[in-house]
Amino acid sequence: MTKYLCIIPMLFLLLCIVVGCQNRAVMTELEKCKAQAALEEKNNALALRFTDVYQKGDIAAIKEICSPDFIEHGVGQTFSLEQVIEILKGNMAIFSDFTIIAEDMIAKGDKVAVRYRVKVTHSGQGLGIPATGKKAESTGIEILRFENGKIAEAWAAEDVLGLLTQLGFEMKPKEAKK
């Protein structure tokens, strides 16, 4: 009987060790999840800030938020940070009331997907036509990848054809060569 009494404390000690190790593993996993959630929240905030400074045309802030080797993958084209800034300058000259509304944001790992709506007024000379004064809206989605606290890469697709149609552009097939 005394043999069995010695085994009980040893079993209890073994049980404590097993439970303690499981708790440490669970706690480690929980800490990883908390750190990932904090990073995703930080990336979401930076994506919203990017949307805000982009619609304001704040080039200094854009350069601060984006990595110097930033690349944007558009539909069939790739743009450097400087090219994106030049496109923004052109858009700011052509469109007034430039507003970007983030409709949805989803963060996963080092990426944030933003579904957005753009509202503009065609108030400047550009796009091959004089200012029409017409208001237009477009929707798009952009996936931003973050690296070292900055936006390093983006993939963007926007309904530019829909926007141009609202401004009076028409799609016509090419005329056959004679």
Which structure tokens are listed for 157? Answer: 């697709």
The pTM (predicted TM-score) of the whole model is: 0.79
pLDDT computed for residue 128 by the predictor: 76
Cα-based distances in Å from 147 to 35, 40, 150, 151: 15, 12, 5, 6
Return the CATH number of the domain spanning residue range 8-166: 3.10.450.50
Is residue 57 scored above 60 in pLDDT? yes
Is residue 21 scored above 80 in pLDDT? no
Contact call for residues 155 and 139 (beta carbons, < 8 A): no
Where does residue 112 fall: left (phi above 0), alpha (psi -120 to 50 degrees), or beta otherwise? Answer: beta
Highest mean pLDDT among 28-32, 38-42, 170-174: 38-42
Per-residue pLDDT band at 130 (split at 50, 70, 90): confident
Burial class of residue 148 (count of CB atoms within 10 Å of its CB; 0-12, 13-18, 19+): exposed
Q: What are phi and psi of 125, to 5 degrees?
A: -65, 130
